Chain A
């Protein structure tokens, strides 16, 4: 595998379920990100991890819980979601947030539907 991979690609869950999204990057990057893309809205940054430490939480509800066990893996744990949480969830990685050339590379996304 190369680049940024995400699993599963599609997920349907009920409001009482607990599920997790997984992201893995094979680029040797130090930073990883979760974004949410809803219909007709710009991509929204949710969380940032730099060297495994969470450096940003953009006022995301606690029903979304990120986990970054190492620089290559990032999880998003989901519980008691709402139908309005249905969206495309994108993971990204970048070499070094302190660099001017901090190009972000994105995974294919997980299409989440909350019933």
Chain B
């Protein structure tokens, strides 16, 4: 059974810092990995999706990398802003039966201090 772990559970940084969020998964047989953002009490906003054949994806100040063989992904946020404060969730889609199923981590709660 796939398990997804996100470290740290919470992170507080001053505005302007670059930061890295980590995600690891136990079964490397994945179709893709998706990073989401969730604001308190709200739904999820998709940030980036990396297919299993890709190494990284970039969107604005965000860069996500994927090392499928080691079961790891990182989300790099450049020049952090208070508006980046949210919970960031990592999720993977398996490659076997039920491959459309997303398995989520518990998330990293990010606070960017002005």
Contacts and interface: CB of A to CB of B under 8 A. Distances in A.
B45 interface: yes
Nearest to B52: A100
Contacts of B93: 102
A42 B106 contact: yes
B32 A100 contact: yes
A58 B45 CA distance: 23
Contacts of A103: 34, 46, 49
Interface in B29-56: 31-32, 34, 36, 41-46, 49, 51-53
Contacts of A34: none
A111 interface: yes
A13 interface: no
A40 B31 contact: no
Interface string A52-65: 00011000000000
B49 A43 contact: no
Contacts, number: 63
Counting chain B CB atoms within 10 Å of each CB, the highest count among A48, A92, A102 belongs to A102
Given A40-B106, A90-B44, A31 B100 contact: yes
A13 B41 CA distance: 19
Interface string B72-114: 0000000000000000010101000011111111110000000
Contact of A42 (B44, B99, B100, B105): B105
B21 interface: no
A45 to B, nearest CB: 6
Interface in A1-53: 4, 6, 31, 40-43, 45, 48, 50
7 contacts: A43-B89, A45-B102, A90-B43, A102-B32, A102-B93, A106-B45, A109-B43
* 10 tightest Cβ-Cβ pairs between the two chains A and B: A97-B100, A106-B44, A108-B43, A43-B104, A42-B104, A106-B43, A109-B43, A103-B49, A100-B51, A42-B106
Interface of A: 4, 6, 31, 40-43, 45, 48, 50, 55-56, 88, 90, 92, 94, 97-98, 100-109, 111
